Amino acid sequence: MKILTTVKKVVDVELNIHVESGAIVEDGLQYVINAWDENAVEAAVVLKENNGAETTLVSLGGGDMTDIIRKCYAMGIDNGIHVDDPALEKADSSVYAKVLQKVYETGEYDLIITGKQAQDTDSGQTGIMLAEYLSIPCVSNVIEIQVVDDGNIKVSRLGDAGTEIVEVALPAVVTVSDSINEPRLPAMRGIMMAKKKKIETTDLAGLGTSYDEVGGNALKSEVVEFMKSETRQAGQKFEGDAAELAVKVVDLLANEAKVL
């Protein structure tokens, strides 16, 4: 089986993010691998270990991806492709999906695993759109993947009414939730080996396409302004005897906030 996973480099959500005059202040930001993509990478490596597979990751976007691709190598990914095209800095989900479609077409993959969303946009669209453009099945928000045979997998998806067990014919796209696994911490040996592995770098022309063809010159939507989110203020915090505080807080909830 040939598995393709997608990896995006995103702003570290654990750090403070400042907004000034409609834009995010770059100063002080750090970039990390999207957490849900790490779950996708782990899922691919687990399938490789249990069922045998060739695993390839692709990362889209300008800039240096060496650190995150090497991290995925150290986790057990076999091949890495970086589509390094500055034009992709300005892209919507549909554009990303169309670029991934080109990557898919060069590799004849059986299974594409993506994170359910990216931590910078929180959009959750790319993997699903990719499947639509490729006219192949897609199951999103997946928490378990089992191989049935060469042509089929069985996945569990968290849906609105419960856990849905879905049998999927390959090739297919699966987007994973963080509930699927706990990404491994790479071992030292893996880290050392990862340093020696090469990363294939290409761009849109290298994929036989152009920014125009993937819809980059006719973005369906674009962010025009960033704003601070309405942050809550810390309220009253009490320390002391638990019983007394409980009495006091119930009184406040009932008579001040009027929510009881």
Ligand X SMILES: Cc1cc2nc3c(=O)[nH]c(=O)nc-3n(C[C@H](O)[C@H](O)[C@H](O)COP(=O)(O)OP(=O)(O)OC[C@H]3O[C@@H](n4cnc5c(N)ncnc54)[C@H](O)[C@@H]3O)c2cc1C
Contact set for other proteins, span 156-185 (CB under 8 A): 157-169, 172, 177-179
Task: Report residue 144 as tokens.
Answer: 């378990």
Pick from 37, 46, 17, 40: which is nearest to 29 by CA? 17
Q: Please name which of 105, 130, 57, 99 lies closest in space to residue 203, comparing C-alpha atoms.
A: 99
What whole-number distance in Å separates Cα of residue 83 and Cα of residue 61? Answer: 6
Which residue, 69 or 138, is less far from other proteins as judged by CB?
Answer: 138
187-195 long-range CB contacts below 8 Å, 24 or more apart?
A: 187/74, 190/73, 190/74, 190/75, 190/76, 191/70, 191/74, 193/73, 193/74, 194/70, 194/71, 194/73, 194/74, 195/70
Cβ of residue 238: shortest distance to other proteins, in angstroms? 6
Q: Which residues, numbered 191-220, are part of the site for ligand X (CB under 6 A)?
A: none
Q: Whose Cβ is closer to other proteins: residue 52's or residue 240's?
A: 240
The phi, psi pair for 193, rounded to 5°, reads -65, -35
Residue ranges in 150-189 that form contacts with ligand X under rule CB under 6 A? 178
CB of 25 to ligand X, least distance (A): 24
Task: Choose, by CB under 6 A, the member of 6, 36, 194, 207 that binds ligand X.
Answer: 36
Residue closer to other proteins (CB basis): 68 or 74: 68
Cβ proximity to other proteins, 192 vs 257, nearer residue: 257
Rounded to a whole number of angstroms, the minimum distance from the CB of residue 179 to ligand X is: 8
Return phi, psi of residue 17, to 5°: -125, 125
Site for ligand X in 55-94 (CB under 6 A): none
Q: Which tokens sit at 65?
A: 């991806």
From the CB of 121, what's the least distance to ligand X, in Å? Answer: 14
For ligand X, the closer of residues 35 and 158 by Cβ is 35
Q: Restricting to residues 186-205, name those near other proteins by CB under 8 A.
A: none
Using CB under 8 A as the binding rule, the residues of this chain from 95 to 154 that contact other proteins are 97, 116, 119-125, 128-129, 132-133, 136-141, 143, 154
Q: Residue number with the shortest CB distance to ligand X?
A: 35
Residues 32 and 13: their CA atoms lie apart, in Å, by 9
The C-alpha atoms of residue 26 and residue 60 are separated, in whole angstroms, by: 20
Name the residues that contact ligand X, by CB under 6 A: 35-36, 178
